[in-house]
Structure 1
Amino acid sequence: LGLAAARVTVTGNIKFDAQRADPASGVALRQRLGQDRPVWLAASTHAGEEDAVLRAHTALRERHPTAALILAPRHPQRFDEVAQLCQKQGWATRRRSTDDHADCTVYLADTLGELPGLMAAADVVFVGGSLAPVGGHNLIEPAQQSKPILFGPHMHNFWELRSQVLTAGAGAEVMDADALATQLHTLISTASARDRMGRAASVLVSQHRGATARTLALLTPYLPG
């Protein structure tokens, strides 16, 4: 834009300052799905990713037969399509919109505005838009819930945040369904690894808070009154 570098101040990412969502709905969902079984979330998935996610879930259940998947497609217009895919593959699928949790191996989150609660219910969070060449989605929400974060190689819209997560040890990059299944197995099998990654995610959020206050401090001299 031609602005001199001396006139540019980077204050940080204000999304780190968002208030952590109340985990109560996630706690209630986890109780319904089962406290004693592994539960993972595939969040904000796009076309082509659900098949990879379900293949990873198949491989995971070979080692962890009780594991449950919460599947949350990004776009509401795809809810029925994804439900049909799950049912076609033989998964015992239940939809959140029906409030049915019985005998569930895949729980389709076909409602809006509940992603933080879904993250709170899961042991591990995979963030979609990253196995398909979409560019990824925000990794801060699962970090705010102190969850281990997995994502694919296509994170170009969040490249700096991706690097921060990897450097902090708060998440891992997976290249395909097989790698996703391997990471899920490792984290579900090893509580210490899962806890370590979750704590690192929480610390990352704490370290990057304050951008809102810094931005307001710079703007205040120019505000009327």
Structure 2
Amino acid sequence: MVHLIRFLYGLTLAFLFLIFVPIWYVLNKKKGYDVGLLERLVLKVKDLQTKPVWIHCASTGELKTAMPIINYISSKEEVLITVFSPRSYDFALKNLKNAVVVFLPFDFSFLIKRFIKHYKPKILIIEEAEFWFNLVYVSSKSIPVLSINTKIPKNVENLYYRTLLKRFSKFILRNQKDAEVLKKIVEEEKITVCGNLKLLSQVNEKNIDLDKNGKKIILAGSTHNPEENVILEVFLLLKQSFPDLSLVLAPRHTERVDEILEIVKKHNLSYSLRSKTNKIDTDVYIVDTLGELAYMYRFADAIFIGGTIANVGGHNIFEAILSGKKVIIGSNYHKIKDLVEEAEKLNAIFIVKDKNQLKEAILKVLNNPNLEIDIRKIQSDIYECYKKEVDRWI
């Protein structure tokens, strides 16, 4: 059966390669990206001094998530990083000075064999859900293959995944729910739950110039229409009990600022813009700048994450949780369901169904500063768990 899967996979891959790779190559060239074609064909290689630990992260996001573990391993071993996209290649070159960075070969068995023959890795560590058949199958014949921060596919029990997942030596998972799913396919001793590597991010440590001016702050981040109006109505109710309360509104799309200003004016509230002042001395403070929201969460006393009342499906809640605060979201979170489930296990989230529940959740947080979570302890536990498991294999 494995031979049949490999044959059909190889046939499909060859067809897609001939049709789409030329188009993909031309489109990237037009954008000015070096797609590393020779590296992907293993016709251009780099030299290493020792047998490296091979770590594969497809995207820039995966590289950022795996950075703490990559840095730990590179402090004691030579590290070979493979990536898929040109942007992630540039990011890795810039931020991983102690690692050798190359493009992942196209997933033909003869290319994976050629790659392994040249670089002679001692182990392959794959981040999240990069379940390329030949990458895993061919590599597993000569070296251990580990999956870290594993993202379990929705159709995990089909023949392709059941065959491939059995080739892994170890899975280091985000949560127990994923472990229960995986136990139906692989041996239990191959599974360890350490937590989500995304929680090791240090995003909140960048200093930004923001003066709370002695105010209590509700921060509504990544909001969409009609969420601004809902949160403003709740804010007006809470303002009666907290005269020093201010609302920081950070819309998902800054081009909506003029629209939001009109909504604020209808509520007869004073307002100011982030681009004009760093001091919060009005009822509403609107973030009309880019790239600062993640660093503002630590200033908030209560946090609401948008895209969850509007039928959007949610946005990144972990950036807010890293501030050590519990977050509040609406009931439309289908795009971040896995993150919400993990946040629930950390007791770091309130899910509300209507405006009244939103008001009660914010009130509860404002009245109970001790509801903050010990994010440093959580991060330390996750990091030490990953270090322990990785050390067993390298």
TM-score range relative to shorter protein:
0.7 to 0.9
Alignment of 1:116 onto 2:273: no
Displacement of 1:206 after TM fit? 4.9
Q: C-alpha root-mean-square deviation of aligned residues, in Å?
A: 2.8
Q: Check the 8 A contact 2:221/2:306 in 1, yes or no.
A: yes
Matching residue of 2:369: 191
Q: Check the 8 A contact 1:93/1:106 in 2, yes or no.
A: yes
Change (3 A) 1:142 1:90: same
Change (3 A) 1:92 1:152: same
Matching residue of 1:3: 160
Q: Quick one: distance in 2 between partners of 1:11 and 1:104?
A: 45
Q: Quick one: distance in 1 between partners of 2:251 and 2:281?
A: 21
Q: Decide which of 267, 291, 296 is 1:89's aligned counterpart.
A: 267
Change (3 A) 1:164 1:100: closer
Q: Tell me the SS of whatever aligns to 1:184.
A: helix
Shift >6 Å, 4+ stretches:
210-214
Displacement of 1:45 after TM fit? 0.2
Q: Check the 8 A contact 1:136/1:155 in 2, yes or no.
A: yes
Alignment of 1:34 onto 2:213: yes
Q: Tell me the SS of whatever aligns to 1:63.
A: coil
Looking at secondary structure, tell me which structure has more helix per residue. Answer: 1
Q: Tell me the SS of whatever aligns to 1:97.
A: coil
Return the letter of the residue paired with 1:56: V
Matching residue of 2:27: none
Q: Quick one: distance in 1 between partners of 2:352 and 2:376?
A: 21
Higher RCO by CA contacts (8 Å cutoff, separation 6 or greater): 1
CA deviations over 1:134-153 (Å, ceiling 9, x no partner): 10111110111111210000
Q: Check the 8 A contact 1:16/1:209 in 2, yes or no.
A: no
Q: Check the 8 A contact 2:204/2:297 in 1, yes or no.
A: no
Q: Decide which of 1, 14, 22 is 2:205's aligned counterpart.
A: 22
Q: Check the 8 A contact 2:221/2:305 in 1, yes or no.
A: yes
TM-score by length of 2: 0.48
Q: Quick one: distance in 2 between partners of 1:145 and 1:96?
A: 20
Change (3 A) 1:79 1:73: same
Q: Check the 8 A contact 2:220/2:304 in 1, yes or no.
A: yes
Q: Quick one: distance in 2 between partners of 1:50 and 1:57?
A: 10
Return the letter of the residue paired with 1:33: K
Change (3 A) 1:147 1:102: closer
Matching residue of 1:169: 347
TM-score by length of 1: 0.81
Change (3 A) 1:164 1:203: farther
CA deviations over 1:119-178 (Å, ceiling 9, x no partner): 111112111000111101111101111112100000101112112212321111111222
Q: How does 1:1-225 map to 2 (within 5 A)?
A: 3-8=160-165, 11-12=173-174, 13-25=196-208, 28-29=209-210, 32-35=211-214, 37-99=215-277, 101=279, 103-193=281-371, 195=372, 198-199=373-374, 203-208=377-382
Q: Check the 8 A contact 1:95/1:108 in 2, yes or no.
A: yes
Identity, in percent, stands at 27
Unaligned 5+ runs, structure 1: none
Return the letter of the residue paired with 1:174: V
Q: Quick one: distance in 2 between partners of 1:122 and 1:19?
A: 17
Q: Quick one: distance in 2 between partners of 1:204 and 1:154?
A: 27
Displacement of 1:205 after TM fit? 4.8
Q: Check the 8 A contact 1:143/1:202 in 2, yes or no.
A: no
Q: Quick one: distance in 1 between partners of 2:213 and 2:323?
A: 19
Q: Quick one: distance in 2 between partners of 1:102 and 1:154?
A: 30
Return the letter of the residue paired with 2:370: S
Q: Tell me the SS of whatever aligns to 2:325.
A: coil
Return the letter of the residue paired with 2:213: G
Change (3 A) 1:211 1:126: farther
Q: Tell me the SS of whatever aligns to 2:291.
A: coil
Larger-gyration structure (1/2): 2
